């Protein structure tokens, strides 16, 4: 009993109970708390009973109870901060969407331009190919130093040399053959006798005129691509002295008198030196004069 009394005294001191009045206050608090607990249990029981009125009300009650459990520990300030942060992020996202739309539009535009440029580049490659082929054609065919032009000149010079030599043979000169050869931007003329090469400067005036006329006839034959029987000479006596002018008339007379060719050659000579035809076998000479009434033609 003594020990029980000591334990009871220690318990009273631990809860700061000094007298009977303190014990009474504690009893009242206990009664009050028990009443509150009974009220809470009664309310929950009443709510459950009310919820059982119909299934819809029961569902509402269950949802309310669930929400009450879920919102335990809810912090309104933190919620508002999160809501504000979400709004800001949505604004940023909207701006990003706008920027993305603008960038996408630019990308589409640039892709169209790239496609257009690729088509242009493709066409330019085709053009480049054709231009390259044209350059090759021009270089090989139309260029002065191309193989075609070089071959044509070589053929033309050989043809002129052959025809000129034929005409020289008809003139009975010591020159047996004329050879034309191409040098750098120039044509070289070489005359041959039976045994040697003849220097042009060593030829007589008549022989030089014969060579010049034979070359003209050879070129005319090449250009006409047929046998010549008519040739017009315009001022052939220009830069010729009196001896060479007389030699020119003699050579032309010889060519006109040749009968061992298909047709005799005819010459029409336009010149201001009418005196060169004196004592020659020219068939007819016409003199042209300009008067106030017009051109006057006189047969000499």
SS (H, E, C) 264-288: CCEEEEECCCHHHHCCCCCCCCEEE
Whether residues 294 and 209 share a domain: the answer is yes
Verify that 152 and 291 share a domain, yes or no. yes
Pair (230, 263) in one structural domain: yes
**What is the number of structural domains in the chain?**
3
Let me know whether 206 and 157 are in one domain.
yes
189-226: per-residue pLDDT in tens? 889 988 888 888 888 777 887 888 888 888 887 876 55
Q: Is 59 exposed, middle or buried (0-12, 13-18, 19+ CB in 10 A)?
A: exposed
Q: Is the pLDDT of residue 61 over 80?
A: no
State both tokens at 275: 């005196």
User: Looking at the predicted structure, is the pLDDT value of residue 174 above 90?
Assistant: no
Of 260, 168, 176, 181, which Cα lies nearest the Cα of 210? Answer: 168
| Token representation of residue 168 | 């020289």
Q: Which domain holds residue 267?
A: 147-299
Of the chain, the percentage scoring pLDDT greater than 70 comes to: 72
- Cα separation, 70 vs 40, in Å, equals 20
């Amino acid at each position: 009993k003594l020990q029980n009394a000591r334990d009871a005294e220690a318990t009273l001191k631990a809860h700061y109970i000094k007298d009977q009045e303190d014990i009474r206050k504690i009893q009242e608090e206990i009664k009050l708390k028990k009443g509150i607990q009974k009220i809470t249990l009664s309310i929950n029981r009443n709510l459950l009973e009310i919820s059982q009125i119909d299934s819809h009300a029961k569902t509402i009650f269950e949802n309310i109870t669930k929400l009450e459990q879920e919102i335990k520990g809810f912090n309104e300030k933190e919620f508002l901060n999160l809501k504000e942060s979400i709004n800001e992020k949505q604004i940023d996202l909207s701006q990003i969407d706008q920027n993305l739309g603008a960038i996408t539009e630019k990308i589409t535009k640039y892709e169209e331009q790239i496609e257009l440029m690729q088509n242009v580049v493709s066409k330019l490659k085709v053009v480049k190919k054709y231009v390259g082929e044209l350059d090759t054609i021009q270089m090989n065919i139309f260029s002065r130093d191309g193989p075609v032009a070089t071959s044509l000149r070589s053929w033309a010079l050989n043809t002129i040399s052959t025809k000129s030599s034929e005409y020289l043979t008809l003139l009975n000169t010591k020159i047996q053959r004329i050879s034309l050869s191409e040098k750098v931007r120039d044509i070289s003329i070489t005359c041959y006798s039976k045994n040697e090469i003849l220097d042009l400067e060593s030829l007589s005036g008549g022989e030089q005129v014969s060579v010049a006329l034979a070359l003209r006839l050879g070129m005319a034959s090449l250009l006409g691509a047929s046998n010549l029987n008519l040739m017009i000479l315009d001022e052939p006596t220009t830069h010729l002295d009196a001896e060479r002018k007389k030699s020119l008339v003699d050579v032309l007379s010889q060519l006109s008198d040749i009968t061992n060719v298909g047709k005799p050659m005819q010459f029409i000579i336009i010149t201001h030196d009418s005196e060169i035809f004196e004592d020659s076998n020219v068939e007819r000479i016409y003199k042209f004069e300009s008067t106030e009434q017009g051109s006057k033609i006189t047969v000499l």
